[in-house]
């Protein structure tokens, strides 16, 4: 079964139309699906509409937050409530076209566990499009997963992916990156992007700045989350090396000036190299200390989370899971079963 997660924040004008479009696609393709609306603290009457839809359609359910917690929190709540083996996330503003759902399912059937949408012809203002181009280039360069549109609202992934990744803050845009780091196969699919009909965008310039900070977080988590000393220790050793070289040079120079008398005396304390070398030694020592503390935290608090991802097991693995957890298929042609 396919679980369709739709976070909504003040999107009352779009919810009924979006529901009609999704149900039309489901009926035309004989999909087994459910729709989970997550009301992220709306103040415009979105929740009464979600309640109404859930009463008239058994495939619809809703989750309401007490206040606005953000899209990542909404998706996390939706993933926990999802009953399907496949999860599709889409925005509630009608810019994501439900007619793309069969194409996502077909791409999944090719063996991909994550299918990321790509708004190839994006109908957004220039001040959102061009920063997005820079952002996507940075994500691809730093993480190794080169996609055209990491922040596309349309994403399909298996329940296994949802179980293994943790999103918080605004890390929902990096679901494909986090899954890729765990070894899941990721594909990109060009999608039809529509103009916004109702309401206004919830994102501004601050979104780009927050995205850069989140990118640093994801780069660290995917590259050094289980071995922080490799990053911090490398920085520390580099700084210590430069600092010790500088201090060694100044020490040798002092000996040549004040003991051997080979070089004309000149005060060492007036040289900028002394301050730079001392600062490099101190910063290097701090980086190494932080790396050791981070390693201790990982060692004693990361025991409940595996740093690997199992695709399948053989039946001879006694006492272990005998079969891989089914990723599910939403094209089972079982009508409109909930």
* Residue 291, CA atoms < 13 Å, CB-side half-sphere: 18
Based on the fold, state whether residues 199 and 286 are members of the same structural domain: no
Q: Is residue 246 part of a domain?
A: yes
- Tell me how many helices (H) and strands (E) the chain has: 10, 7
Of 76, 10, 23, 29, nearest to 332 by C-alpha is 29
The number of distinct structural domains making up the chain is: 2
Q: What is the pLDDT of residues 248-305, one digit of tens each?
A: 999 998 888 888 878 777 788 888 899 999 999 999 999 999 988 888 877 777 555 6
- Is 126 exposed, middle or buried (CB count within 10 Å of its CB: 0-12, 13-18, 19+)? exposed
3-class DSSP state for residue 242? helix
Q: How far is CA 73 from CA 7, 47, 127, in A?
A: 9, 17, 26
Q: Please give the structure tokens belonging to residue 199.
A: 């309401």
- Tell me if 317 is assigned to some domain: no
Instruction: Specify if 333 maps to a domain.
Output: no
Does residue 280 share a domain with residue 213?
Answer: no
Are residue 288 and residue 143 in the same domain, yes or no?
A: no
Upper half-sphere CA count for residue 51 (Cβ side, 13 Å): 5
Q: Does 327 map to a domain?
A: no
- Contact predicate 250/268, CB 8 Å: yes
Q: 162 and 252: one domain?
A: no
Residue spans of the chain under pLDDT 50: 318, 321-338
Are residue 86 and residue 107 in the same domain, yes or no?
Answer: yes
Q: How many whole angstroms separate alpha carbon 199 and alpha carbon 46?
A: 12
Same-domain status, 14 and 140: yes
Query: Which residues 6+ apart lie within 8 Å of 151 measured at CB?
Result: 132, 135, 136, 173, 211
Three-state secondary structure readout of 146-181: CCCCCCCCCEEEEHHHHHHCCCCCCHHHHHHHHHHH
pLDDT at position 337: 39
- Domain end, chosen from 193, 224, 255, is at 224
Query: Can you give the pLDDT at residue 329?
Result: 47
- What's the domain range around 124? 2-224
Q: Are residues 14 and 156 in the same domain?
A: yes
pLDDT of residue 307: 65
Last residue of a domain, one of 196, 224, 252: 224
Verify that 219 and 232 share a domain, yes or no. no
Tell me, yes or no, whether 156 and 287 share the same domain: no
In a domain, 325, yes or no: no
Residue 335 placed within a domain? no
Are 77 and 135 within one domain? Answer: yes
Tokens 């206004």 label which residue? 200
Token reading at 21? 């479009």
Estimate the crossing angle of helix 228-258 against helix 272-301, to 10 degrees.
150
What is the model's pTM? Answer: 0.73
Token pair of 105 as six digits: 């399912």
**86 and 172 part of one domain:** yes
The strand pair at 33-39 and 60-64 is best described as parallel
- Residue 318 pLDDT: 47
One domain for residues 145 and 253: no
Domain stops at, among 160, 195, 224: 224
pLDDT at 104: 96
CA gap 92, 76 in Å, rounded: 16
The pLDDT value given to residue 198: 66
CB of 69 closer than 8 Å to CB of 38? no
Residue 323 covered by a domain: no
CATH number of the domain that 87 lies in?
A: 3.90.550.10
Q: Is residue 334 part of a domain?
A: no
Structure confidence at residue 303 (pLDDT): 56
């Amino acid at each position: 079964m396919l679980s369709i997660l739709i976070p909504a924040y003040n999107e009352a004008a779009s919810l009924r139309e979006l529901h009609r479009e999704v149900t039309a696609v489901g009926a035309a393709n004989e999909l087994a699906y459910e729709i989970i609306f997550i009301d992220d603290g709306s103040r415009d009457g979105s929740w009464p509409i979600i309640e109404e839809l859930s009463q008239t359609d058994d495939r619809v359910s809703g989750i309401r937050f007490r206040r606005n917690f953000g899209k990542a929190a909404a998706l996390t709540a939706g993933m926990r409530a999802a009953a399907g083996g496949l999860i599709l996330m889409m925005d509630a503003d009608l810019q994501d076209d439900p007619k793309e759902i069969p194409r996502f399912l077909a791409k999944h059937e090719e063996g991909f566990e994550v299918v990321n949408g790509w708004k190839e012809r994006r109908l957004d203002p220039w001040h959102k499009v061009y920063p997005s181009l820079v952002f996507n280039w940075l994500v691809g360069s730093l993480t190794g997963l080169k996609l055209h549109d990491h922040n596309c609202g349309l994403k399909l992934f298996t329940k296994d992916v949802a179980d293994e990744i943790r999103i918080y803050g605004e890390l929902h845009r990096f679901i494909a990156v986090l899954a890729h780091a765990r070894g899941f196969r990721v594909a990109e699919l060009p999608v039809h992007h529509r103009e916004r009909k109702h309401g206004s965008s919830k994102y501004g310039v601050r979104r780009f700045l927050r995205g850069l900070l989140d990118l640093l977080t994801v780069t660290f988590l995917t590259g050094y989350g289980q071995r922080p000393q490799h990053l911090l220790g490398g920085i520390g050793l580099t700084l210590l090396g430069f600092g010790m070289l500088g201090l060694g040079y100044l020490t040798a120079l002092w000996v040549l000036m004040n003991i051997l008398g080979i070089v004309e005396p000149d005060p060492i304390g007036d040289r900028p190299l002394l301050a730079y070398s001392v600062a490099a030694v101190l910063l290097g020592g701090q980086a190494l200390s932080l790396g050791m503390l981070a390693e201790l935290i990982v060692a004693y608090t990361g025991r409940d989370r595996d740093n690997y991802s199992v695709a399948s097991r053989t039946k001879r693995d006694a006492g272990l899971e005998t079969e891989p957890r089914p990723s599910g298929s939403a094209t089972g042609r079982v009508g409109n079963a909930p």
